[in-house]
Structure 1
Amino acid sequence: MIIDLTTKINHELINAWLDTQENKRIATGHVGTHLDTYQKSNIPLEYFERTGVLFDVSEIESERDIAISDIEHIKIPENSFVLFRTKQIEKYEYGTKEYFHDHPQLSHDLIDYLINKKISFIGIDCSGIRRGDEHTPADIRCEENGIYVIENLCNLQNLSNAPFTVYTMWLDDEVATGLKCRVIVKQ
């Protein structure tokens, strides 16, 4: 079975936001499913195909961070694509204020834990692994360690715990700090 994890966007909602942005080229890279590359590092081509590991953390309320103890029961192979299902994109339409407001986030300890696992990607079905002023520094910390954060994934509820392969396609851009991408799973 092939499952597309790429979010389709409502252009009316997004165009209203883009009209408020000073640099539309930079802003457009951060719309929909994309990976953040603030350091403009070269993403290794072998990242295209990775073993996927899914963590359903949808029962965790946004009043607390997602912690190591929430995921340590599942083995995380080196070089894997770790996905977090929070249900944020299932509850709220992408592009709405509710979608971006107070979304779940990974604890700093969990981010460090994933860095130490030497994974390739962190994927999440909300607008980031941290909120507000902590968003960009968390993404940069991951990127400095060869891990790229992919935001705004969808259809994670269609994945099973069985082993699966994740295919990620992106287009490099010398200027943009967000690269639109397509993420597809084969189970």
Structure 2
Amino acid sequence: MACLFWDREKYQLIDLTLPIQPFMPDIVGHVKMAKWNHEQGARLNSVPTGIDPIDFPPGPPFYEYHSQAWEELTLTTHIGTHLDAPWHFFPTTENGKMKAKTIDEVPLEWCIGNGVVLDVRHVGPGGLITEDDVKEALKKINYKIQPWDIVLIQTGWDKKWGTKEYFENHPGMSREATLYLIEQGVKVMGIDAFGFDRAFKVMGEEYKRTGDKNVLWPAHNVGREKEYLHLERLANLDKIPKPTGFTVVVFPIKIEGASAGWVRAVAIVEKE
């Protein structure tokens, strides 16, 4: 039976995902990667099979290609483009009425939907994205949020990927902006910055200056009151040709009992 959904002549895929790479220390854990080439893979595979690596196909003189290359990674679930589960925010949600879902408990139906890009690139470094910023972005594209839309917040911060500033000075969502989207029926939202809230350093400095604990992860803490999920470290939102009228797919890797899962985020766009 032919696939009723996919038509490569009609649609194009836009990758919204940053790579996982051990390029520099990360605030939430340095990626460690060990690589085995084809010859090393042959030696590893020879142990469980009980076969001399030289006997692996395709045979001499291609000894170094006798088996498969492997990689081994040590990393957190919050490295790279990922989806934060409600469990990441707090053990319960809906003001204690529900156990918070871990990433393997998140329904896949929540992770595919109509995409909406909200351009808030005017918000400066370390800035707080307000409810008014969200409403103004919607007004500019003449769109009303629909239940189950997947809203993508465009800060443009993905262009700083690989720099110190990417981690230390990005803008983030406010409590009010996050609640507003949830109240419109949004279950999944995301941002093209390191985190959904402002940078750790920015929040920390404001807390030390004001003593107000409400400045610490206000968007994350909304998850204690309302069940929702958010994506962090998206990329290439500027490559989506229109802010609406496309489909977003953000299926997370199924990790038992985890607070997040790595995602290959993709926008499915109809070709013009």
Greater gyration radius: 2
What secondary structure does 1:62 align onto? coil
Q: What is residue 178 of structure 1 aligned with on the other side?
A: 260
1:33 is aligned to 2:81: yes
In 1, Cα distance between the equivalents of 2:23 and 2:147? Answer: 40
Query: Aligned equivalents of 1:63 and 1:104: distance in 2?
Result: 4
Q: List gaps (5 residues or longer) in structure 1.
A: none
Return the offset for 1:8: 1.3
Distance 2:121 2:253 in 1: 31
For 2:154 and 2:26, the matched residues in 1 are separated by 27
Secondary structure of residue in 2 paired with 1:154? coil
The number of residues matched between the two structures is 180
Give the letter for the 2:268 counterpart. K
Q: Tell me the alpha carbon deviations over residues 74-120 of structure 1, each in whole angstroms, 9 at most, x when there is no partner.
A: 31111110001101111x124x3210112111122111111211212
The answer as to whether partners of 1:62 and 1:105 remain within 8 angstroms in 2 is no
* Runs of 4+ deviating beyond 4 Å: 14-17
Change (3 A) 1:50 1:19: closer
RMSD: 2.6
Q: Quote the residue 2:226 is aligned against.
A: 145
TM-score under structure 1 length normalisation = 0.84
Q: What is the CA distance between 1:43 and its match in structure 2?
A: 1.0
Structure ranking higher on relative contact order (CA contacts 8 Å, 6+ apart): 1
Give distance in 1, aligned partners of 2:223 and 2:110.
Answer: 15
**Map of 1:24-173 to 2, 5 A cutoff?**
28-37=76-85, 38=88, 39=91, 41=101, 42-62=105-125, 64-72=127-135, 73=139, 74-90=143-159, 92-94=160-162, 96-131=163-198, 132=200, 134-135=216-217, 138-142=219-223, 145-159=226-240, 160-173=242-255
- Measured in 1, the distance between the counterparts of 2:26 and 2:174 equals 32
Is contact 2:111-2:188 (8 Å) kept?
no
* 1:35 partner letter: L
Change (3 A) 1:85 1:112: same
How far apart in 2 are the matches of 1:173 and 1:102? 30
